[in-house]
Amino acid sequence: MSVARPARSLLGRCLASTRSRMAAATAAPPPAVVSQRSPFHSSAPRPKRRSRFRNVTAEEMGLLNPSTLSKYRQEKFAEFSKDDLDALRKKYTAEQIEAIQAGEMAVDPDDLIFQGRLRDDPYQPNYMEDYTVLDPRYDLKPEVEVTPKQPQWLNHNDWVDNYGMKMAKLTDKKTTDQLTRAMVRALRRVKESNGRDFIDLTHDELEDMEKDPELLKRYLVEDDGGEADAAASESDLMTHAQATKLDEAVDAEWKTELDKLSALGDEAEAGPTNLELLDDGPAGISRAYSAEAVELGKVPGVEGLYKSAVDPEDEGQDDAGHYQEIKRLTGMSLKDIQSIYRKVLVTRWVSNQTRLGKVRSTSVVAIAGNGNGRLGLGIAKSTEAGLAAETAQLLAIRNMKPIRRYEDRTVYGNPKAKVSGTVVELFARPPGFGLRCPHRIFEMCRAAGLHDIAARMPRSKNPMNSVKATYDALMNQPDPEEIAIGRGKKMVDVRKVYYGGAVY
């Protein structure tokens, strides 16, 4: 109904026009006189709708011509040739080939031609598989069969023996890795000087072996005492003089590297670090599937008789003993604990109304991280703000857990978490993007060693819930390898093919 005219005038005009038409009909006016009726609304009439798609007949599509139909069928839905079957047999087993052929026979190409539609428009969906997102339709989380470990209550001598064996294995591994890196550096210098034709390893492979000494096992060949392969060409073999010259060059560089290692004389580099010993702590992998019973508590009659003495290794920096318990739980030294980045992110003040008045208390949420892939969250509450902050930071150090990092700079995929009404969405970004996110998420990413992230909180910005949701999102990132295993496929890193190894 029009908003510019009253309803009474419109109704009166319509009734008047109706009475005039009835009177004119009885008087038989000339056929040229036609009265116009006013509408109840002033909007423009809607045009007739058109279809978005152009009507195409079956004859225009060539569906009625047998020759055109057969040509289209052969072009779009061709059957497997003998070469195609031979290529498939190299990739799949006989049972899988049989299943593929049964699936091809179950689908009629004519049904796809008449009832289906092959899209060639620019808006066609992209069917590339994304291994960073779980699809609940067909992705299943791989099941891991784990047997809980029963606790072993060893006496002092057995515990010392086991601990010594573990320390010896870690020390041997670290020493072997140092020697392997020294050998790789020696081979690199020999290759740059006069061994380009005799050392097959590329510079990228040598750099990878220096970063991860375990890769050396791929290039080691066991000597079974047999003769050389007779099929090898003479051009691939070195002469005795060339082999002698290469051995002398490698020995000289090897001695140089050994002299550098002996000159350092730092025993800490050859031994395991405190962070490597966290696997046996409360948050370590050895306790992930533990079957230990709950704590029994303090034994009556012994409580208060045994107190931990101040550690002389602290050099007088912890005479009050504030860090003794956290040192016992984590196995780290006081120097390593003090080097961990800590930050109080949320502080809340609440009051409890009692008959004695209001009891004011402080609730604190703190984080801790080593800046290299480990992050912890701690929540504490106390009537004293300083005590609550200190307790929350120590709890965060104790609760530090590893965070998955893609290329040691960003997250995997786009993790998302929700706590109450707060939703946090993290997005992986390219190198050099930086941390463009709220300040609390910025501090958590800096503590965990993440450098390229964008974040969004579309709903509530509650401080405590935002910190908890961000921690959940970082801990529950999608694992592309697990998704590929669930789909029955294998992931291959092709970045070194496209970018020539320069992927970091």
Q: Is the C-alpha dihedral spanning 221, 224, 228, 229 positive or negative?
A: negative
Q: For residue 44, what are its two tokens?
A: 């423009």
Rounded to two decimals, the pTM is: 0.41
In the predicted model, residues of the chain with pLDDT beneath 70 are 1-44, 51-53, 62, 121-129, 131, 137-138, 141-142, 144, 146-152, 194-198, 220-238, 264-299, 303-304, 306-310, 495-504
For the chain, give every residue range classified as CATH 3.30.160.20: 326-402
Q: What is the pLDDT of residue 368?
A: 97
For the chain, give every residue range classified as CATH 3.30.230.10: 404-503
Protein fold of 404-503: Ribosomal Protein S5; domain 2 (3.30.230)
Q: What is the pLDDT of residue 1?
A: 44
Q: What is the pLDDT of residue 277?
A: 66
User: What one-letter code names the amino acid at 388?
Assistant: A
Smallest Cα–Cα separation from 362: which of 398, 387, 344, 343? 387
Q: In whole angstroms, how far apart are CA 17 and each of 7, 12, 43?
A: 15, 8, 21
Q: What is the pLDDT of residue 34?
A: 45
- The CATH number of the structural domain formed by 326-402 is 3.30.160.20
CB count within 10 Å of CB 378 equals 22
